[in-house]
């Protein structure tokens, strides 16, 4: 698989604009739980609040119901 294909697989099927659709969001309690898992992960970049694995901004990605952790933590 190409590097681009590998990256696309880690990102998954969600897109940043999904956070603008209320039908695609989870409740705040579950989003906060996901984000707490991210904050304790060694792949979490604290400065930018991004994941090293997928490059996503986790404050947003953790709110999208269909989003998944690229290394399976949530």
Tens-digit pLDDT profile for residues 9-52: 777 788 888 999 999 999 999 999 999 999 999 999 999 999 99
What is the rounded end-to-end Cα distance, in angstroms, of the chain?
25
Measure the CA–CA gap between 3 and 31, rounded to whole angstroms.
29
Tens-digit pLDDT profile for residues 53-66: 989 999 999 999 99
Q: CB–CB of 46/2 below 8 Å?
A: no
Beta-bridged to residue 50, according to DSSP, are 45, 57
Q: Residue 31 is encoded by which pair of tokens?
A: 């989003």
| In the chain, where the domains are located | 3-61
Tens-digit pLDDT profile for residues 30-39: 999 999 999 9
- Closest to 37 in 3D by CA, of 11, 58, 22: 58
Residue 14's pLDDT is what? 84
The answer to whether the predicted template modeling score (pTM) of the entire model surpasses 0.75 is: yes
């Amino acid at each position: 698989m190409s590097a681009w294909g590998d990256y696309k697989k880690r990102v998954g099927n969600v897109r940043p604009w999904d956070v603008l659709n209320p039908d695609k969001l989870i409740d705040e309690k579950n989003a906060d739980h996901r984000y707490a898992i991210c904050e304790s992960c060694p792949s979490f970049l604290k400065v930018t609040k991004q994941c090293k694995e997928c490059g996503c901004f986790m404050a947003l990605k953790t709110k999208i119901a269909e989003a998944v952790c690229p290394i399976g933590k949530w």
